[in-house]
Amino acid sequence: MSEPRFFEFPQSIVLKTVAEWADAEIYRGEDGLEISDVAPLEDAGPGALVFFDNTAYLKQLETTGAAACLVGKRHKDKVPENVAVLICEDAYRSWAKVLAKLFPDAMSPTEAGSSGVSERAVVDPTATLEDNVTIEAGAVVGAGADIGSGSVIRSNAVIGFGVKIGRDCVVGPNCTVQHSVLGNRVTLHPGVCCGQDGFGYAMGPQGHLKVPQVGRVIVQDDVEIGANTTIDRGANRDTVIGEGTKIDNQVQIGHNVVVGRHCVLVSQVGLSGSCTLEDFVAIGGQTGVRGHVTIGMGAQIAAVSVVSEDLAPGGRYGGTPAKPVKQWFREVAAVRKLAERGNEP
């Protein structure tokens, strides 16, 4: 049985069109060269477009059978002579622009052909749906919910009482959204839980007394949230996810957290309650952030780190506890030398 392909190449295009889409310059190759596929370097055949931006894949570039390659200026002479060269400022970004033109259906988790409100969906009569809203089979929309034009609620998703969802949003299968306000063009991938109560208890010898969580989750425009991520609503103020932020799968965001604009959180990051990320913060996978700390604007945190105190804007940090990377690297090298010395006879 042949392998199914869910996103077929729509049609042949020519190299000149690719260059226009990619904001690239044709360094080598004919304007009319036909491009009929996209592929990774090692699998590319005649007619395929590839990109190169990492020297770790130089061997694959040297043997690629592609027709054309998107590449930065500094790597243009590494491309084999039989492959057309498109020079761009950032090969990966140009690749993304071309793919978005070729495969627009891959830009959101909306199945082609689904539209309108399914007869097998449950929509409370007090909910408000603007024009062109899609509610798929098994989805539930609660009382007083408000869903904007062009938004899609996928199968078995649950939209709770009073939730507000903006325009052109996608709520994936099996998501639950409650006590939340979503802006425009927000994407929730399958299994996201947004707006459940946070982990708050007054602990004592008489037992742990639950503290009511009375805040909301505010998700601003153009946010994308990965599969099975959980975002708790605020305890006494709102949990906020800033405009343009991108969140990977399986991330935990606690109550009262404020995430700034255009942040990036990689898989399995955990943000404890009431911490603050300023704009453009990037955090590597499996990193934990303690509650009530602030990470300054533009800071970058390495994977598998622990942030236990405030971090200044613009720095690069890593380790347990997180510290400036130069200091971290020196400490790791010193420990390695001590360990090697301990093995000496």
Q: Residue 207: which pLDDT band, with cuts at 50, 70 and 90?
A: very high
255 is catalytic: yes
Second-level CATH architecture of 13-107: 3-Layer(aba) Sandwich (3.40)
Per the model's pLDDT, the better-predicted residue between 10 and 280 turns out to be: 280
Q: Which stretch of DSSP H or E encloses residue 224?
A: strand 224-225
| CATH fold of the domain at 122-275 | UDP N-Acetylglucosamine Acyltransferase; domain 1 (2.160.10)
Q: Exactly one of 75, 255, 262, 292 is catalytic; which is it? A: 255
Whether 113 has a pLDDT exceeding 80, the answer reads no
Record the pTM: 0.87
In the block, which residue shows the tokens 């934990």? Answer: 288
3-class DSSP state for residue 312?
Answer: coil
The pairing of strands 187-188 and 224-225 is parallel
The token duo for 268 is 């399995």
Mean pLDDT, residues 45-62 = 95
**C-beta separation of 274 from 257 below 8 A:** yes
Q: Residue 2: which pLDDT band, with cuts at 50, 70 and 90?
A: very low
Question: pLDDT at position 8, please?
Answer: 79
Q: Residue 130: which pLDDT band, with cuts at 50, 70 and 90?
A: very high
- Sorted by where each begins, the domain ranges of the chain are 13-107, 122-275
- Buried residues in 147-158 as b, exposed as e (16+ CB within 10 A): bbebbbbbbbbb
Residue range 222-258, pLDDT digits in tens: 999 999 999 999 999 999 999 999 999 999 999 999 9
Question: pLDDT at position 344, please?
Answer: 65
